[in-house]
Structure 1
């Protein structure tokens, strides 16, 4: 049973989720805050009115002669509550309850004569009340005072707070809708600034030129710069690809042409001596083509984008270089070359890629074997520097090169004029590229009499990447 395709992520849903959920939470918090403010305002207004009612009643009481009944005006003032019941009590300190419509609890602290009314919360018949009490003189009864308490339910206060809340919700909802509409319109209108960049990219075919320009908004500059950097890497890879094809065509044309000529010669003249001579030339040209192909591949690897963070590891040159030199002793003996090594016995570490460094040293030794001449001496030496780096030197006492040609030794396909030995002219170019990958410096020096010394100066290994010291293999000469 096939599974349903996974739901594609939506930027719109993600943005709406990030916006609507916080806005909803903020709206709920705002409703609670608004209701609290509105209730506080309603309590303030009602408390003020309740205190004024108590003061008004005190003035009315001062002009009446109470005998247990209140005037209709006073009773209407005390009992009027449009959303609930109003309660009151008038208590004489000498005679007790004079008038009232319920047993209102007394305040814990009775204000003194002439003091401001005292507001307090109380309950009666399980209903919360807000009450005010004050002390007033009782005309016609010297020495006696009245404690007047007036209370009301909280329903009117909550109703007023809800009215304010409903009005605030309506106003704020309209404001939020207007703000979201403006944001939606502003985002859509603001994103139109990307239209020139989109049209410019749509008109491209196979171009890898930078896409940045003066019309690119500042907010997407990091994106365009990243894309431009990607295009630059792609251009480098394509240029490397084209260069490899051009180099291969240039270097393989001659041996392939020679192979064809010698094959035709062998076919045209079946004499065994001529066929043997043709086959000898074919073998030589085949070896030359194989060598050139290997050099081209090595140069391509050396010029490829660096993978230093993945491939570079600590290497002990004092152990690794003698082993690499030993592998070329047989070739040196076949060419009549005295190949030897000189170096320290203690560990000498750098940070690098083993295969690339093997290509570097192999090309330096191969260059000496090919051009130094029979009977020459080639010495590979290793020295430690005081700054923690290492110097790798390959020196021969061959014919050398003219001083004016030394700066061109690292050029691709460059060969000194008058050289009879076959070669691709890529060896020292490979050495230069590999050294650059290892942040090393290549220096060419001519000997005092004759010969050439190539020195590669490696930087000190980074802290934390030094290989553990190992026993060094004995040097051979």
Structure 2
């Protein structure tokens, strides 16, 4: 079964749905708090009106320890809870009451006609109380503290009713916002369709696809794709260059091989046949060398997969020792100059070894028999110098600037070569921010130096 790919649309909607749900719950809590505050405000105002009405009623009727049934019904009526009242005389104490207000009533705090509003616990429930001071109707020197209270049940009920009215509206609003988000996400993702169509219509075009119309949010993805296209174009160009170089360099030896094979086949004597086969052998060796050099150049032009810290003082002696037998056969004295300290550089060992091998190859082939070739390492400021120096005939000053060009060979050179050795070294070293320099040795010869950044431990 095909793997199910994650959906960007679903992920965006899920990311937005959870905050919207949290906002809905937060909005419900805030709405309830506001509704409860508004309900408390209205009920407090009504409670003050009831207290003032009760006080006016007491000023028109004498108190005998009991209220009229009409007054008691008016004060105690509470459809969702219970109403409380208390009348406290300064001279005679509590005159009428339907609960024990001794612990909660603020009769002593009442000094003028300004009513007091406060909350307290009465009969094991929280109540809201209002206290108002008036002059006694029967005793001008006495003062009455009139307290009226009610429970919070009706207040909460009113707040809940307001909340239940607003919740459907908030839910409807959230649904509308969700629909707009769905539409917005779908519409926003349509911007990817032209890019997808543009990529689908391409065949071998590896030009960048970024343009001013690309949204800022997907620009990093487009830049990554452009970078991939750039690297792919480089690899294709590298492949095409290899094919062109191979066709250019192998055409002549292959034609020569074909010619001498025909000559050997048509020869009637053994000497002619032997000469033709000897030519075929030399051309075959040249073809193999050219093919190897072309492959090495292609590998050097491709970026190495790994960049490591290389200890040249440990690696270079091993690389030089591997070339000693070849130097003995060529009649060249190959030596190594060791530095006084450990020197480390960034690089990739196989690539850097191939660069050094090509420099040693050139020295062994062109310095001549009896020459001395020295491979050495030295510190040079913030760089490390890896050099190959010989005391051969050297290179003319006019040709020094062209060293390192592909297929370039110094005029008058008798040795067979491909002109790729120094080019391979250049390509390999450039990957590690290195450079190659050439200078004439004293009294004669050539010194080729690879300069690489120095790494400290």
Equivalence for 1:454: 448
**Equivalent residues in 2 for 1:16-415, closer than 5 Å:** 16-68=13-65, 70=67, 74-75=71-72, 77-92=74-89, 98-100=95-97, 102-106=98-102, 107-110=104-107, 111-114=109-112, 115-124=114-123, 128-269=126-267, 271-307=269-305, 310-317=306-313, 319-385=314-380, 387-415=381-409
Contact kept in structure 2, 1:435 and 1:441, CA below 8 Å: yes
| 1:382-414 residue CA offsets vs partner (Å, 9 max, x unmatched) | 3332x2532222233333333222221111111
| Change beyond 3 A, Cα 1:67–1:448 | closer
Equivalence for 2:6: 9
The alignment's C-alpha RMSD in Å is 2.7
Q: TM-score, normalised by structure 2?
A: 0.89
Equivalence for 1:468: none
For structure 2, list consecutive stretches of 5 or more residues without a partner in the other structure: none
| Change beyond 3 A, Cα 1:376–1:383 | same
Distance (whole Å) between structure 2 residues aligned to residue 8 and residue 187 of structure 1:
18
| Deviation (angstroms), 1:364 | 1.1
Instruction: Indicate yes or no: 2:392 matched with 1:437.
Output: no
Is the deviation greater in 257-266 or in 221-230? 257-266
| 1:110-146 residue CA offsets vs partner (Å, 9 max, x unmatched) | 233425334332333x554333233322212244333
Distance (whole Å) between structure 2 residues aligned to residue 128 and residue 346 of structure 1:
88
| 1:16-49 residue CA offsets vs partner (Å, 9 max, x unmatched) | 3222222212322322232122212212221222
Contact kept in structure 2, 1:315 and 1:352, CA below 8 Å: no
Is the deviation greater in 169-178 or in 219-228? 169-178
Equivalence for 1:469: none
For structure 1, list consecutive stretches of 5 or more residues without a partner in the other structure: 465-477
Q: TM-score, normalised by structure 1?
A: 0.86
Tell me the secondary structure at the aligned position of residue 259 of structure 1: helix
| 1:169-203 residue CA offsets vs partner (Å, 9 max, x unmatched) | 23322332232233333333344444443443333
| Change beyond 3 A, Cα 1:346–1:195 | closer
Distance (whole Å) between structure 2 residues aligned to residue 183 and residue 382 of structure 1:
66
Contact kept in structure 2, 1:395 and 1:453, CA below 8 Å: yes
Contact kept in structure 1, 2:304 and 2:348, CA below 8 Å: no
| Deviation (angstroms), 1:11 | 2.4
| Change beyond 3 A, Cα 1:365–1:158 | same
| Deviation (angstroms), 1:99 | 4.2
Distance (whole Å) between structure 1 residues aligned to residue 439 and residue 225 of structure 2:
43
| 1:401-451 residue CA offsets vs partner (Å, 9 max, x unmatched) | 332222211111111233332111100001111221232221112346643
| Deviation (angstroms), 1:54 | 0.9
Distance (whole Å) between structure 1 residues aligned to residue 379 and residue 147 of structure 2:
103
| Change beyond 3 A, Cα 1:87–1:330 | closer
Distance (whole Å) between structure 1 residues aligned to residue 330 and residue 121 of structure 2:
116
